[in-house]
Chains A and B, each alone.
Chain A
């Protein structure tokens, strides 16, 4: 019977006590394992967030630079009210129609293609990209405190673009993320580039044929949309789009590119004089919008970092408490054990065991208990790490909902590209388990040190008298 077997027997002798201690220590261990894994998950998540922000900001900067010479021309669309007996919306019930707002329907106004001739003649205009968009879907009527609106729930949006290779190469008006087939090229006709969403809607793949507004198109490629606005867009040549939508000679907007930035103001003035009904968007307004977005990102980032730092502080405190609790549990249990077994210590000393023998016996028991608790702790940690870390750490999702940027449509999820909460899931890695296990054994040894020393110093005569 060696010292190890004796230690094991002593531990198993007091089953209930050992069980309680092991559970308590096991939870400490689980906390020691779960919290760092939670922090790591937070850290990874924040790093991912920072990475995405960096990419977004870089893209925005590129877009700003690209749009420095852009003047976007369109005619404002909006809701117009339809009233009166001739086909106006009549609200149900006995209300006086005169006091009720009428049915608000969306009106879309197109530009005439002939305007291109006038605009291209303006000095300093380098290129013009003419685009037509038409959304097909189902009309739905919704009632709001501000009135009754008829909105269009889109099935798909036809986007007609000029298939001119020089324009395609210089200006990014076609999607870039082609997942199957190819992109549109100069000279393409009666072919269509579908989004992944479109393929689901039409139930067709590359090479297949799709019927759009009565015309048959061949699917030339499929792209993955970069945001929700793009998700329903299908691209084809401008001419094809104008033909099938019965909008020949019409355009949704013109993207007018100046030869350089210094000509933008002159071009804007000239267009305003020629077509005062146009809504013109220049790089200045775009720049202001983009800068606002950058600011929002920066704020979100600061919030993310602040939350991470706060999380880490709380985590360190909790780990500290777990460490102290573990040491104290081992200390008190071993002190109690030594006291309880004083008589036994007397017997050991009487039959010739040295102080060192006695000390190592009790140290081993403390360490062994910690090892068992460590195994239990790892088991608890593996099962409950995500739960424990979410319970014990401040929620890292808070800043995502508090920050203004994150609530803006198209930024919170689409531009960031990651749903932040899913990255919070804490997972244990072997290194962490090994470290926490080592810490648990070390704490067990430290906690047993004083009781074991006390046991070794017990006078044999006094110990033998102890009952």
Chain B
């Protein structure tokens, strides 16, 4: 099995806005290793969500390659993309996106239904996952009876249901308070360590990003720097003069505000 689970090469996305061509992503090339926890940072409109949509087969690039587990998804016909989403990708959203009329365990079972698992298999796997995210005993609660943090835990369990090659999290702490957000990010980190899950998380919160193994910074659709592996905060030495973020010695720009150093 290849070490690289996710790879993009010269990824471009442009679209027309008011008769003007806007480049949402320009030549983005990156690699994510199996079991890695990577965060993508950048200001609003920098192209973070656009990139995540490309990685999760929700959108098509204008140019370039996106490969998940060695499969170039840009060459997969539109009608077959659901198979990639079903088998290779798990999504975690900022607003949780749980179905309100299903309880916690039924929400987790949903992806398993799409791959044709039996009722018993679905139930066992979903219970196991809810236990992993710390929600044992809350299986029968509908989303409106769960706290925001609990809802996000259900969403995480659902994203992991099909053992995806990669989990894409779009601002998973955006609707949570700092403490709960940190708990969620640490839960994701633990999943990487314990279960070897590969997670790519989009965030604009440096505190959350600092919990990840690697931070990628996007600005105006361009990937500005690839930081070194390992915890960002372990080698902290300087602070960004613009926003005060703590930065490693060899940082060339601030991942929060994009200021060049």
Q: A residues engaging B (CB < 8 A)?
A: 1-3, 6, 9-10, 13, 343-344, 346-355, 357, 460-461, 464
Residue of A351, A353, A464 with most chain B CB atoms under a 10 A cut-off: A351
Inter-chain contact A352/B115, CB cutoff 8 Å: yes
CB of B82 within 8 Å of the partner chain: yes
A344 with B99: CB separation less than 8 A: yes
- A1 adjacent to B91 (CB under 8 Å): no
Contact for B114 among A13, A354, A355, A460, CB less than 8 A: A354
Which residues of chain B come closer than 8 Å to A6, judged between CB atoms?
Answer: 101-102
CB-CB nearest in chain B for A352: B86
Per the bound structure, the CA–CA distance linking A464 and B85 in Å amounts to 15
A210 to B58, CA, bound (A): 102
Across-interface contacts of A344 in B (CB, < 8 A): 99
Complex Cα distance A464/B109, Å? 20
Q: How far is the CA of A385 from the CA of B32 in the complex (A)?
A: 70
Q: Given A1-B109, A1-B113, A461-B53, decide whether A350 and B85 contact each other with a Cβ distance below 8 A.
A: yes
- B109 CB contacts on chain A under 8 angstroms: 1
CA of A354 to CA of B58, assembled, Å: 13
Q: Residue A351 contacts which of B59, B85, B101, B106 (CB distance < 8 angstroms)?
A: B85
Is B110 positioned at the interface, with any CB of A under 8 Å from its CB? yes
Measured in the bound complex, the distance between the Cα atoms of B100 and A52 in whole Å is: 67
- Residues of chain B within 8 A (CB-CB) of A350 are 56, 58, 85, 91, 97
Residue in A13, A355, A460 whose CB lies within 8 Å of B101: A13
Hey, which chain A residues are within 8 Å of B34, CB to CB?
none
Q: Using A9-B101, A344-B99 as known contacts, say yes or no to A351 and B110 having CB atoms under 8 A apart.
A: yes
Q: Report which of A9, A351, A353 forms a contact with B91, defined as CB distance below 8 A.
A: A351
Are A355 and B82 closer than 8 Å at their CB atoms?
A: yes
Q: Cβ of B119: which chain A residues have Cβ within 8 Å of it? A: 2
Can you give 25 A-B contacts (C-beta < 8 A)? A1-B102, A1-B110, A1-B113, A2-B113, A3-B113, A6-B102, A343-B97, A346-B97, A351-B85, A351-B86, A351-B90, A351-B111, A351-B114, A351-B158, A352-B82, A352-B86, A352-B111, A353-B82, A354-B86, A354-B114, A460-B58, A460-B85, A461-B53, A464-B93, A464-B97
- Say which residue of A347, A352, A354 sits within 8 Å of B97 (CB atoms): A347
Compute how far the CA of A343 lies from the CA of B100 in the bound complex, rounded to whole angstroms. 12
Which one of A3, A347, A352 lies within 8 Å of B87 (CB-CB)? A352
A415 to B66, CA, bound (A): 91
Tell me which of A349, A352, A355, A461 contacts B162 (CB under 8 A): A352
Residues of B within 8 A of A9 (CB): 101-102
A462 to B66: give the CA distance in the assembly, Å: 20
Whether, in the assembled complex, B20 has its beta carbon less than 8 Å from a beta carbon of chain A, the answer is: no
Q: 9 tightest CB-CB pairs across the interface, nearest first?
A: A352-B86, A461-B58, A1-B106, A352-B114, A351-B111, A354-B82, A352-B85, A347-B97, A350-B91
- A10–B53 CA distance with the chains assembled, in angstroms: 28
| Chain B positions within 8 Å of A353 at CB level | 82, 86, 114
Q: How far is the CA of A13 from the CA of B142 in the complex (A)?
A: 14
Q: Mark B185-221, 1 if CB is under 8 A from A, else 0.
A: 0000000000000000000000000000000000000
Expressed in whole angstroms, the minimum distance between the Cβ of B164 and any Cβ of chain A is 9
Task: Give the residues in chain A near B106, CB-CB below 8 Å.
Answer: 1
Q: Which residue on A lies nearest to B91, using beta carbons?
A: A350
Known: A3-B113, A350-B56; 12 extra A-B contacts, CB below 8 A, are A1-B102, A6-B101, A346-B97, A348-B110, A349-B58, A352-B85, A352-B86, A354-B82, A354-B83, A354-B86, A354-B114, A464-B93
| Complex interface bits, B73-116 against A, C-beta within 8 A gives 1, otherwise 0 | 00000010011011101110100010101100010011101110
Complex Cα distance, B91 from A346, in Å, reads: 12
In the complex the two chains form, what is the Cα distance from A3 to B82 in whole Å?
18
Closest to B111 in A: A351
What CA separation (Å) do A10 and B106 show in the bound complex? 14
B60 → chain A closest CB, angstroms: 10
B contact residues around A354 at 8 Å (CB): 82-83, 86, 114
Give the residues in chain B near A346, CB-CB below 8 Å: 97
B129 to chain A, nearest CB (A): 13
Q: Which residue of A lies closest to B102 (CB)?
A: A1
Check A349–B101 contact: CB distance below 8 A. Answer: no
Question: How far does the alpha carbon of A354 sit from the alpha carbon of B116 in the complex, in Å?
Answer: 12
CA–CA, A464 to B158, complex, Å? Answer: 17
The winner among A2, A350, A355 for most chain B CB atoms within 10 A is: A350
Scoring B90, B109, B114, B162 by chain A CB atoms within 10 A of each residue's CB, the highest score goes to: B114
Tell me the smallest distance from the CB of A180 to a CB of chain B, in Å.
73
In Å, the complex CA distance between A350 and B110 comes to 11
Known: A1-B106, A357-B114, A464-B58. A347 touches B79 (CB 8 A): no
How far does the Cβ of A452 sit from chain B's closest Cβ, in whole Å?
16
Q: A348 to B85, alpha carbons, bound, how many Å?
A: 10
Min CB distance B58 to A, Å, is 4
Residues 195-254 of B contacting A (Cβ, < 8 Å): none
Closest to A460 in B: B58
Cβ distance A365 to chain B, nearest Cβ, rounded Å: 12
Give the docked Cα–Cα distance between A13 and B102 (Å): 11
CB of B76 to closest CB in A, whole Å: 13
The docked-state distance in angstroms from the alpha carbon of A355 to that of B79 is: 8
Alpha-carbon distance between A76 and B148 when the two chains are bound, in angstroms: 107
Which residues from A are CB-within-8-Å of B87?
352
Give chain A residues whose Cβ lies under 8 Å from the Cβ of B89: 352
> Contact flags (1/0) for B48-67 with A, using CB distance below 8 Å?
00000100101100000000
Chain B, Cβ-Cβ closest to A463:
B58
Tell me whether A10 and B111 are in contact in the complex, defined as CB-CB below 8 angstroms, given that A349-B82, A350-B58, A350-B91 are known contacts. no
For the complex, give the distance between the alpha carbons of A360 and B97 in Å: 21
Quick one: CB contact mask for B154-171 with A, threshold 8 Å, 1 for yes?
A: 000010001000000000
Contact partners of A355 in chain B: CB under 8 A: 79, 82
Q: Which residues of B contact A13 (CB under 8 A)?
A: 101
- Chain B: minimal CB distance from A15 (Å): 12
- B90 neighbours in A (Cβ, 8 Å): 351
Contacts of B99 in A (CB 8 A): 344, 347
Instruction: State A344–B95 Cα separation when bound (angstroms).
Output: 12
Residue of A nearest to B79 (CB): A355
Residues of B within 8 A of A347 (CB): 97, 99
Q: How far is the CA of A261 from the CA of B115 in the complex (A)?
A: 96
* CA–CA, A266 and B87, complex, Å: 111
Residues of A contacting B91 in the complex (Cβ-Cβ under 8 angstroms): 350-351
Q: Which residues of A contact B113 (CB under 8 A)?
A: 1-3
Q: Bound state CA distance, A353 and B82, in angstroms?
A: 6
